[in-house]
Amino acid sequence: MARDLTVGQFLPGHAIMHRLDPRTKILLTFFFIIQVFLAKSTVSLCFLIILLFLFIFFARLSAGKVFRAVRPMIPVIVFTALINIFYVPGDSVLHFAFLHITKQGLFTGFTLFVRLTVLIVGCSLITYTTSLNALAAGLEQLLSPLAHLRVPVSELSMTLTITLRFLPSLSDEFEQIVDAQKSRGAFFDQGSPIRRIKSYFPVLIPLFMSAFRRAFELANAIECRCYHGGKGRTKMNTLHFAGRDIAAFLVFTALFFLTIIFNFI
Amino acid sequence: MAIIELKHVHYAYGVGTSFEKQALNNISFSVDPGDFLAIVGHTGSGKSTLIRHLNGLLRPDSGQVFIHGKDLWSQMKDRRSVRFQIGLVFQYPETQLFEDTVGKDIAFGPKNMGLNEQEVKQRVQEALAFVGLDASYLERNPFRLSGGEMRRVAIAGVLAMRPSVLVLDEPTAGLDFDGRALILQQLEQFRIKSGAAIILVTHNMDDIAEHAQRVIVLHEGRMVLSGTTASVFSEADILKQCGLDVPQITRVLIKLKERGLPVRTDAITLEAAEREILKLFREGG
Ligand SMILES: Nc1ncnc2c1ncn2[C@@H]1O[C@H](COP(=O)(O)OP(=O)(O)OP(=O)(O)O)[C@@H](O)[C@H]1O
Ligand SMILES: [Mg+2]
């Protein structure tokens, strides 16, 4: 259980992928997503797969583990791919009652499977190599121009940072309360759906109580430190683009065009 | 026969990640009916991890846990029933209350045992009496009680299952001196009246000096000391290395001895220390 990676878990390290600026990684992840949707031919899809392995290598992660973490999502991917197999019109290969399987359908289904897998694995890399706090800081800086449009970016980022800070505490507390109620003989995941939902009351009620208590305490603590809105707040660790970030952008641009060129081979 | 027996238990968190942490390393001990055992250790020494193994919440990576002589993980089909025999009270148990009346909350455990209404009612009243609260509390809202009262209600919730071993993780944390003494005294009464064993997890040495018969000292997941309370407290140096202290009175006696006065340093209760010091005056005078 705890032995496998979970998507979204941060694994501290010092590989290149870890040291890139979070802003770079966020932007490049978007780049990569667009790239995945632009790749149409077999060659460019193969190219993407090779790229993915290179990224995993540069993050110093084990490819097996990274792919295994996606396993829970495979049913969804396969389902999406299957639907396409049956719905794309074209030259019939097999047909069975009202179901037609076409050549084009098989191709679309297969490429969709590859694309979704590559997409999920690619996006999971940023979470393995970037702490949530770094991600939040990067996002805040990227969104800061929106402040001119009266979007409360610094308040949003404060909220996001606080949420990220308290998620692990809440999840620890959740486990602790589950253990405590199990120790009194509670059982979960048994019986009818209504019974199951009811069986979580003894956990959810204390959890909400404690979340509210924390929220009040935190609000008091923040007020005691004279916080009034995030305007003009400075950071202890400011983000700086380094040479490697510029290099990464250049490499990605080149790869982007390569993918498009491979579409025509 | 021992109620609980642990043999060479090992447990690690986060195996295979960079967070890997060997939380328990080769732990073996046993608990007999009526025992009062204390498990002490600095923060992060593995105490809470250890007690989660006693009722099957965690499964050891290697080693065995026997309950009444049966291997919990290979010979027992109904692991849930173990939870009624080994009652676990977690740190700050008051945060786990959830019902709208004290009576209903205490009844949660007995109801899960499948007892009939009459029996449940009787056990709730009995448990409430054990923690020193009267029947007027039954209909009160647990969230409107004081912190100390809430904690006692939560402990009653486990007592109501009539466990043959009661395990408590820092039951006195955050209470004042009187509150601490009261809870410990009530636990001791429960042990004597019901014949159950008590395992008390703490890092407050003064808590266990009065009541515990045996002490296990954990340090970074290993058992570094184990024995009678007096023998463990006589190892002041090892305790210090583990970030622990001897009880205040023992510290007084050790200081007296360092000044060359003929006192015995294995006195751990207040009365014994008093006797030792009075003896000094008699001999001196
Ligand atoms: N869920 C978890 N995941 C990973 N590591 C954990 C987890 N729970 C505990 N640990 C680690 O295992 C070690 C033992 O923790 P444990 O909670 O058993 O200590 P403890 O003796 O109860 O400490 P305290 O006196 O602070 O309650 C600690 O180093 C802790 O960081
Ligand atoms: Mg603990």
**3-class state of residue B59 by DSSP:** coil
User: Does the distance separating the beta carbons of A206 and B98 come in below 8 Å?
Assistant: yes
Q: Where does the pLDDT of residue B285 fall: very low under 50, low under 70, confident under 90, or very high at 90 and above?
A: low
DSSP string, B163-202: -SEEEEESTTTT--HHHHHHHHHHHHHHHHHH--EEEEEE
Q: Ligand 1 centre from B50 Cα, in Å?
A: 10
**3-class state of residue B257 by DSSP:** helix
pTM, rounded to two decimals:
0.77
Contact residues on chain B for A181, CB-CB shorter than 8 A: 96, 108
Give the alpha-carbon dihedral of B267, B269, B273, B276, to 10 degrees: -60
- Among the residue ranges A91-100, A170-179, A235-244, the one predicted with the least confidence is A91-100
How many whole angstroms separate alpha carbon B6 and alpha carbon B165?
A: 14
> Pairing state of beta strands B197-202 and B165-169?
parallel
A 10 A CB-CB count for A222 gives: 13
User: B30 or A61: whose pLDDT is higher?
Assistant: B30
Question: Average pLDDT of chain A?
Answer: 85
Q: Does A240 touch chain B (CB under 8 A)?
A: no
Q: Looking at the CA of B45, name the nearest ligand.
A: 1
User: Does the distance separating the beta carbons of A11 and B17 come in below 8 Å?
Assistant: yes
pLDDT digits (tens, 9 = 90+) for A122-141: 888 898 899 888 888 888 88
Contact residues on chain B for A176, CB-CB shorter than 8 A: 90
DSSP string, A74-100: HHHHHHHHHHHHHH--SSEEEEETTEE
Read off the tokens for A182.
């199990």
Whole-angstrom distance between the N-terminal and C-terminal Cα of chain B?
Answer: 51
Going by alpha carbons, the residue nearest to atom 16 of ligand 1 is: B46
Q: Does A202 touch chain B (CB under 8 A)?
A: yes
Ligand 1 atom with minimal separation from the B47 CA:
21
Of A2, A179, A186, the CB nearest to B15: A2
How large a percentage of chain A has pLDDT more than 70? 95
Q: Ligand 1 centre from B23 Cα, in Å?
A: 7
Q: What ipTM was reported for this prediction?
A: 0.88
- pLDDT reported for residue B235: 86
Burial of A265 (0-12, 13-18, 19+ CB in 10 A): exposed
Contact residues on chain B for A6, CB-CB shorter than 8 A: none
How many whole angstroms separate alpha carbon A211 and alpha carbon A90?
A: 56
Give chain B's domains with CATH numbers.
Answer: 4-231 (3.40.50.300), 247-285 (no CATH)
Question: Average pLDDT of chain B?
Answer: 91
